[in-house]
Amino acid sequence: MSLRRTRRTALRAALGAALGLPTLAAIPSYSPAIAAEMRILALGDSLTAGLGLPVGQGFAAQLERALKANGRTVRVVNAGVSGDTTAGGLQRLDWALGDKPQVAIVELGANDMLRGLDPEKARANLDAILAKLKNSGVTALLAGMVAAPNLGRDYERAFNAIYPSLARKHGVPFYPFFLDGVAGNPELLLPDGMHPNERGVAEIVRRILPAVERALTEAARAG
């Protein structure tokens, strides 16, 4: 370095000190933190799959957009299969876990109920799903379903008891009714009267979002 450059450098340093400015060495380098992407597995039936909806308007897509709007770095994997039962969800769980999710939303049981299948078998299947998720280090959010009244009081009582009891058993976050605020509202349903339309999905996402946020926080703490 020439004598002239040395003098200029010294002069700048002296001027900076006089003005209370930090020297270049004192200025910390800035490296923006990049949050690791968290993957959410949406394991369900047609309510998750987005039956009858345009691409990008189903549950997984709308949930991902809502979480990103809240500042979350996430990818929501649509593992919904129309017509699937709890048995079907259990059978394909190993394959679905190939995406290495940190969180799984379990939305199954509606088709078991609509077909009048034995509630105890649905319970056993959901129990096995939650156990497998736990053993895989995945935080589960259990989304409940309620039985139609026309199936009789005994069936209704047995079926509706499945979800809260399993949530307690496995200690997982619990959202009592996936179609809360949507079921029975024709403005939020497709013409079949069963599946949510785009607005219905948006309402589901709005209501379940706090529970998903809590599950993501729990999964992040678990590591």
Give residue 35's pLDDT.
66
Distances (CA, A) of 57 to 18, 20, 35, 190, 198: 60, 55, 26, 13, 6
Give residue 110's pLDDT.
98
187-197 mean pLDDT:
97
55-64 mean pLDDT:
97
Please state, rounded to an integer, the average pLDDT across all residues of the chain: 89
DSSP letters along 120-180, please?
HHHHHHHHHHHHHHHHTTPEEEEEP----GGG-HHHHHHHHTHHHHHHHHHT--EES-TTT
Q: What percent of the chain has pLDDT over 90?
A: 83
Q: Tokens 């009858």 sit at which residue?
A: 52
Phi-psi region of 148 (alpha: psi -120 to 50; beta: other; left: phi over 0): beta
Q: Is the pTM of this model over 0.75?
A: yes
pLDDT higher than 50, residue 166: yes
Give residue 16's pLDDT.
43
pLDDT higher than 90, residue 24: no
Give residue 36's pLDDT.
86
Domain annotation for the chain: domains and CATH numbers: 38-222 (3.40.50.1110)
Tell me the catalytic residues: 46, 192, 195
Helix axes 153-160, 119-135, angle to 10 degrees: 10
Q: What percent of the chain has pLDDT over 70?
A: 84
Opening angle at CA 50, ends 119 and 183, nearest 5:
55
